[in-house]
Amino acid sequence: MSKIGVFICHCGENISATVDCEKVAEAAKEMEGVAYAIDYKYMCSDPGQTLIKNAIKEYGLDGVVVAACSPRMHEPTFRRACVEAGLNPYLCEIANIREHCSWVHEKGEATTRKAVDIVKSLVEKVKRNHPLVPIQVPITKKALVIGGGIAGIQASLDIANCGHQVILVEKEPSIGGHMSQLSETFPTLDCSQCILTPRMVEVAQHPNITLYTYAELEHVEGFIGNFKASIRLKAKSID
| pLDDT band for position 239 (cuts 50, 70, 90) | low
What amino acid occupies position 223?
F
Question: What average pLDDT does the segment 75-97 reach?
Answer: 97
pLDDT at 21 over 60: yes
Question: What average pLDDT does the segment 38-57 reach?
Answer: 97
Q: How distant is the alpha carbon of residue 17 from its chain centre?
A: 30
Question: What average pLDDT does the segment 174-196 reach?
Answer: 87
- 92-96 and 34-40: which strand pairing? unpaired
pLDDT at 212 over 70: yes
pLDDT at 98 over 80: yes
Hey, what domains does the chain have and what are their CATH numbers?
Answer: 4-128 (3.40.50), 142-233 (3.50.50.60)
pLDDT at 91 over 90: yes
pLDDT, tens only, 134-161 = 888 888 899 999 999 999 999 999 999 9
pLDDT at 169 over 70: yes
Angle among Cα 226, 229, 230 to the nearest 5 degrees reads 155
Instruction: Give the SS3 label for residue 217.
Output: strand
Comparing CA positions, the residue from 213, 235, 227 lying closest to residue 144 is 227
What is the residue-averaged pLDDT of the chain? 94
Question: What average pLDDT does the segment 30-51 reach?
Answer: 97
